[in-house]
Structure 1
Amino acid sequence: MPRPMVLRHGTHIFPTRQRVLLPNLLLNGRFLMRKATGVDRVATELAAALLACELPGVLSATHPAGVVVDQQDRPDVLMKATEVSVSRLRGQLWEQTALLQTNPQDWLLSLCNMGPVLRRKQIVMMHDAQVFREPQSYSRAFRRWYSIAQPLLARNAALVLTVSEHSKRELEAFGVVPPGKARVVHNGADHILRVTADAATLPRFKLMPQGYILAIGSSAPHKNLAFLVKAAQARTDTSQPLVIAGGGDAAVFAGQGISASDNVKILGRVSDSELRALYENATALAFPSLTEGFGLPPLEAMACGCPVIASTGGAIPEICGTAAILLDPYDQMGWTAALSTITYDPAIRFSLSQAGIARAAQFTWAAAAETLVGYLAELAQAEHPQPA
């Protein structure tokens, strides 16, 4: 079996970590083989940030045989991952078997909620406990698999990472992660600032600058978009349409009682360039989720100067702080009033925009990588204690 090739590190240096021997890391690259979700975005950006560090350890990557999806949106360093072909396995079968056959001296880094449950020399990132908190958003087979595999994975792995203090508490409360085992690595949001906004986005979707309320999300019930549609339609003036972007076309959203109309536009999946243009030109982002393990869209919007109205669900208050209008995700009248206020009050929009830019600047992928490097140093020290 070929050994994964070594990827060269970049230029970010963390002097406090330079003299610490770090473990060799093997990145579980299963996420490279599918259309990127929010979790896959985190994996891509965090891996790239690690590669940009002058680490004394080695980071390599492996993925199932096949073509990497969306290569243009993945950092070049991840494109150098070596394919590991074990029979014709794909997906979970590859993850649960082929990865067990890689070098046992390497520390496997699994960043997308799942990894080989029998691998002990592993660092796994579990982003949230949504499958346990909001089971109606997932299939029965998916729920059953996670209810068995995730607790076993968390028990066997050397280290469990998660993305917020809220998620840490939830994972412990549902018995997924043993108390005290999880460590928090906040996501970054600065990836959106590397993207050039697509100037043709607004004409393409027949939108006007500062002429719409933006929502980002899927049709999953806990995203609460049907509630948001009702709140938006209850406004006395609906001249600014609610524009929904994210996974799912009009037919998918129809299953949640959401249909396109004069004041509700459903865009479906958009590119990063289109997304930045939508953030920069929206009157506000409305994010009504019942719960989130982190909540990346509000932070991305803030980085682009877009005012944010968000719910008090899950980790959203932890991440947004005081830089957003935060509302109960069940208070329809409150959301209707907030949508109207932010539409007609430029002073509030300006204040939220400035506060959001400052808040988002606190969440960078370089900072996330440095936090992770600190945890890796602790693992290395425990494995090979150094004399004082």
Structure 2
Amino acid sequence: MNSYVLNARFLMRPLTGVDRVATELISASLDAGIPSRFKDILAVRPKGTVVAASERPKDLLSITSTSASKLTGHPWEQLALAKESPESWLISLCNMGPVLRKKQVVMMHDAQAFRQPETYSRAFRSFYHFVQPRLGHRAQTILTVSEHSKRELEHFGVVPKDKAIVIPNGADHILRLAADARILDRHSLSAGGYFLAIGSLAPHKNLKMLIDASNARSDKQRPLVIAGGGNAAVFGANGLRESEHIKMLGRVTDEELRALYENAFALVFPSKTEGFGLPPAEAMTLGCPVIASTGGAIPEVTEGAAISVSPSDQGAWTKAMENLEQCTTLSDELKEQGRERAKMFTWARASDKFLSVLDDLPSD
């Protein structure tokens, strides 16, 4: 039986993105029986305060210890963590791990730092371009979240061909949350009375195109509501401005996000590329109709359960939004198809595949 060390650096960051994936995957795997299936598992984190500790699963925190090293951040991950329990398998689920550690399972979520390097700082992309390909070739096992990400990682030489194993994300964590509908009152939103977008100022999120497409609708009675990525002032400084038909909510809590999904007329998700595409999966889980881009891995997630539109065709986005408003039957069909499709994306399914990967690792 093998023993494992979990790279728990993600506990030192907000519970979003890849850090959420790590939290949910390990929690689901603990529920499924890691302690009984394997000799031992210990999570190790650098010194400091766990971010949003009250939101982290207690079973994860119960196996977490603090590293003796004074290092933090990337230096801790590359140097101190590399020496932690060298006889154990190291599990790193957030794109990075110590490149010196061969006995390691690493999850790489996408190849964005290579596909769109201009969207990252010089220091960030230089570090990723140097470390990640070396890690991708040296680590025993590489995981990723979609066939698209696997192809991208191979294309840029980050991992050898056919080395990466695909484990799609879950989305059913959204069902554990109690919807906080007070956000609707604060922003004068009504059930079914708005289109919802989730995004940031990152160019690949394609929000400027979506705003222009929404503004081109002949009937703008339902506003476009954008959650995440900063407040109206931040968007305004980048040429994206609020108006009577465009509302920018800024960062929202997970509970508020559930309320927004459940009360939206539809989610509109125009990204040029995504390594997975969690918002469409979350929306479908909650029965929210989805209009989604054909970019990146998004079609793998929606697969026949959403209206699919090219991320470069602004006119098609306008038409898709208008068509959905004019066809109640289509909306009902998307709700039903979305819920059915979302059954493919649960953390239990993800953990089953993850544990199978661990089962197949060479024994100590």
| TM-score, normalised via structure 1 length | 0.90
1:143-197: CA deviation from partner (whole Å, max 9, x where unpaired):
1111111001111111000000111011001111011211011101110011111
Report the secondary structure of 1:336's partner residue.
helix
Q: Does 1:29 align with 2:8?
A: yes
1:104-155: CA deviation from partner (whole Å, max 9, x where unpaired):
0111111100111111111100000111112222112111111111001111
| 2:160 aligned residue (157, 178, 197) | 178
What's 2:314 paired with? 332
State how many pairs are aligned: 360
What's 1:143 paired with? 125
Aligned counterparts of 1:173 and 1:255: Cα–Cα separation in 2: 35
Question: What do you get for the CA RMSD once the two structures are aligned?
Answer: 1.2
- Structure 1 residue 342: Cα displacement: 1.5
Asked if structure 2 preserves the Cα contact closer than 8 Å seen for 1:188 and 1:364, the reply is yes
1:274-301: CA deviation from partner (whole Å, max 9, x where unpaired):
0000000000000000001100000000
1:74-110: CA deviation from partner (whole Å, max 9, x where unpaired):
11122221111312x2111111111022110111111
**What letter is aligned with 1:309?**
I
What's 2:189 paired with? 207
1:25-75: CA deviation from partner (whole Å, max 9, x where unpaired):
211111111112211111110010111122321222111111111122211
1:255-274 to 2 correspondence within 5 Å?
Answer: 255-274=237-256
- Structure 1 residue 255: Cα displacement: 4.4
Q: Does 1:220 align with 2:195?
A: no
Q: Does 1:163 align with 2:145?
A: yes
Report the secondary structure of 1:52's partner residue.
helix
What's 1:357 paired with? 339
Aligned counterparts of 2:326 and 2:259: Cα–Cα separation in 1: 21
What's 2:223 paired with? 241
What's 1:13 paired with? none
Aligned counterparts of 2:240 and 2:26: Cα–Cα separation in 1: 36
What's 1:121 paired with? 103
Percent of pairs identical after alignment?
A: 56
1:319-355: CA deviation from partner (whole Å, max 9, x where unpaired):
1100000000011111001111222322111100000
Aligned counterparts of 1:208 and 1:136: Cα–Cα separation in 2: 39
- Structure 1 residue 250: Cα displacement: 2.2
What's 1:86 paired with? 69
What's 2:348 paired with? 366
Aligned counterparts of 1:85 and 1:255: Cα–Cα separation in 2: 43
**What letter is aligned with 1:31?**
F
Q: Does 1:295 align with 2:277?
A: yes
Aligned counterparts of 1:201 and 1:368: Cα–Cα separation in 2: 31
1:64-79 to 2 correspondence within 5 Å?
Answer: 64-79=46-61
Asked if structure 2 preserves the Cα contact closer than 8 Å seen for 1:310 and 1:325, the reply is yes
What's 2:42 paired with? 60
What's 1:196 paired with? 178
What's 2:18 paired with? 39
What's 1:376 paired with? 358
Asked if structure 2 preserves the Cα contact closer than 8 Å seen for 1:293 and 1:314, the reply is yes
Per the alignment, do residues 288 and 197 of structure 1 end up closer, same or farther by CA in structure 2, a change over 3 Å counting?
same
1:275-286 to 2 correspondence within 5 Å?
Answer: 275-286=257-268
What's 1:99 paired with? 81
**What letter is aligned with 1:36?**
L
Structure 2 unaligned segments of length 5 or more: list them. Answer: none
Aligned counterparts of 1:165 and 1:263: Cα–Cα separation in 2: 37
Report the secondary structure of 2:32's partner residue.
coil
Report the secondary structure of 1:286's partner residue.
strand
Structure 1 unaligned segments of length 5 or more: list them. Answer: 1-20
What's 1:6 paired with? none
**Most deviating of 227-236 and 65-74:** 65-74
Report the secondary structure of 1:85's partner residue.
coil
**What letter is aligned with 2:186?**
R
| TM-score, normalised via structure 2 length | 0.96
**What letter is aligned with 2:33?**
E
| 2:292 aligned residue (291, 305, 310) | 310
Aligned counterparts of 1:196 and 1:341: Cα–Cα separation in 2: 32
